[in-house]
A and B are shown apart, each in its own frame.
Chain A
Amino acid sequence: MTCLELNIRLDKGNFRLSLNEIMQAQGITVIWGESGSGKSLLLRSIAGYENVIGKIRLNDQTLLNDRQRINIKPFLRRIGYVDQNAQLFPHLTVKQNLNFAYKRAKASYKQQSYSFADVVAVLQLEPLLEQKPATLSGGERQRCVIAQSLLSYPRLLLMDEPLSALDSTIKVPIIEFLLKIPKTFSVPIFLVTHAYEELLKLADQVIVIAKGQSLGVYKLDEFCSNYAQSLVPAQQLGSLVRGEQINCSEYGLSKLSCGSQTLYIPATQNNKKHLEVIIYAKDVSISLSKPEQSSILNLLEARIERIIDYSNSSKLLQLSIGQQSLLSLITLKSFHELNLSLGQKIFAQVKTISFIR
């Protein structure tokens, strides 16, 4: 477990980044916020590229403490940094690029963890090693850049919108690679994105930034179901449901067993046992009786746990389905017509399962 302690301030023109947060970095931490909120500046501050004042600690090492005049130089921080148009060094081949990082890393780091060959294998770079960067496609180059960064044996990998410069077809495989990295190489990732779908696919936790300030660190399920602070717009409000995949592929569907209930989900390529799905609140509707003859497959017995006045035309219902909970966003009109009340048993109809991870 990597612990990152930030208490920093950075003034750039009229903009001020001011952050005080202690984060347990494990897996992928997504830095989320509108453009101009200071996400990239935060990453650059951690990397040591900006003139920040305050304190930064990574595990038990102080990277920055202006009072004690400590400011570890970027090249001594052991923090990887990949930005959106990351380039390899154009005068070196892919292999030389990887070696640039590898031969500068201490032997002791190399022995403790993965090898050069491991990284090449996981990121499937073998056929590219002798090529020059100019001949690579966008996706290939991004894989090489990630590999290069991993071979410097970073304690933390910072990525500034690593997917934004890629075509949507290339994004999917790169996302798969990104998901593998924290587990395979035990390197936690901090990743900036402003695409909600990428966040849902990648994030284990989310740090929300607005106007240069932190609105807190949330687990993914806390984040996407966070109605109280309206961190996400109504359309994107959702719940994360965990379950075990049961192998059955009838009609191109799989089953997900969540406690006492079962969800049908589109068949997945991966054979992971534990899956998480994200169901948008707008995709969950309520029925008082069990609907017969409906095209909607996913019908869950649920109980109304909480009723939230979401806006002047809608209510948000927090439903309990076994041990887990599900959000449903319905209109105020439906709410009154169905005469819903707390503790009532109802059927939740799930129109779409939006994300499987």
Chain B
Amino acid sequence: MDFLTIDWQPIYLSLKLAFVSTLVLLIIGTPIAWKLSQTDGWLKHFVSTIVALPLVLPPTVIGFYLLILMSPNGWLGQFTQALGLGSLLFSFSGLVIGSVIYSLPFVVQPLQNAFETLGNKPLETAYSLGAKPIDTFFSIVAPMCRRSFITAAVLGFAHTLGEFGVILMIGGSVPGETRVASIAIYEQVEMLNYADAHKLALIIILISIVLILISYRFGYQKMMVKPNH
């Protein structure tokens, strides 16, 4: 079939980037969301603001600062070079860092909402029954908030899939390394190669529909407490 003759590599790379980023996002986003749900006052609002910034900033602004940080003279660049990892610029690892920052609010906010809605009561009950905090988190909080974890993961994944500006700034277009679908589409359009752009765009649309469907179908928090009869 003619449709399948396209270069699948950008699609594959986009999915790989989204998958790895989502994994990292869940690992670092969960404790941030938890901490935010348990604190109050200035610190909470300050950290929330930082986490929410990518929602309002132009991706090029994030990309610009990341570019400076990751450049051989930037402290992140110097750090990775000192570790013998070379530069993060124009590398897949650099993209993961960019994506994690870019998609952080999409993972942190649903989780934070879920933890706040859950309230302190289940925690206090678990503590009074002798469960330690980490134990309580994994045996009570995580299962009770599992739907929000699905929502957070899907949103993080989908948002990373749609990333363009940040990648353009720090990743360029290295085939197999940083040339993800959104960049590939842009390049095809620039070369007036509309047929290939269409194919890639259509695949991205399909994947996005499936993802959002999953998030709506399984992600919403069903009321678990029935009224007394």
Contacts and interface: CB of A to CB of B under 8 A. Distances in A.
A148 interface: yes
B228 interface: yes
A185 to B, nearest CB: 16
A91 interface: yes
A63 B132 CA distance: 17
Contacts of A78: 130
B129 A149 contact: yes
B228 A149 contact: no
B175 interface: no
B117 interface: no
A355 to B, nearest CB: 27
Given A75-B127, A81-B125, A87 B225 contact: yes
A148 B128 CA distance: 10
B86 interface: no
A148 B121 CA distance: 15
B225 A89 contact: no
B228 A74 contact: no
A306 B139 CA distance: 62
B64 to A, nearest CB: 44
B140 interface: yes
A73 B140 CA distance: 18
B179 to A, nearest CB: 43
A104 interface: yes
A101 interface: yes
Given A137-B228, A137-B229, A138-B228, A101 B130 contact: yes
Interface in B141-171: 143-144
Question: Interface residues of A toward B: which range?
Answer: 20 to 34
Contacts of B140: 89
B31 interface: no
B227 to A, nearest CB: 10
Interface in B186-229: 224-226, 228-229
A114 interface: no
A100 B144 contact: no
Given A78-B130, A149-B128, A100 B224 contact: no
B131 A75 contact: yes
A134 B130 contact: no
A233 interface: no
Contacts of A74: 124, 127-128
Question: Interface residues of B toward A: which range?
Answer: 20 to 34
A185 B131 CA distance: 22
B129 A104 contact: yes
Interface in A76-112: 76, 78-81, 83, 86-87, 89-91, 100-101, 104-105
B58 interface: no
Given A134-B225, A138-B228, A91 B128 contact: no
Contacts of B132: 75
Interface string A64-80: 00000000011110111
A47 interface: yes
A196 interface: no
A156 to B, nearest CB: 11
Contacts of A137: 228-229
B176 interface: no
A152 B126 CA distance: 10
A100 B135 CA distance: 11
Given A87-B122, A91-B144, A79 B128 contact: yes
A49 interface: yes
A83 B137 CA distance: 21
Contact of B144 (A79, A83, A89): A89
Nearest to A148: B129
B124 to A, nearest CB: 6
Contacts of B122: 87, 89
Ranked 6 nearest A-B pairs via Cβ: A81-B128, A74-B127, A101-B129, A90-B224, A75-B127, A104-B130
19 contacts: A47-B124, A75-B128, A75-B132, A75-B133, A81-B125, A81-B128, A87-B121, A87-B125, A89-B125, A89-B126, A89-B144, A90-B224, A90-B225, A91-B143, A100-B129, A134-B225, A137-B228, A137-B229, A152-B130
Interface of A: 47-49, 73-76, 78-81, 83, 86-87, 89-91, 100-101, 104-105, 134-135, 137-138, 148-149, 152, 154, 165
Interface of B: 120-122, 124-133, 135-136, 139-140, 143-144, 224-226, 228-229
Given A79-B128, A87-B121, A104-B135, 4 more contacts: A75-B129, A89-B140, A91-B224, A104-B131
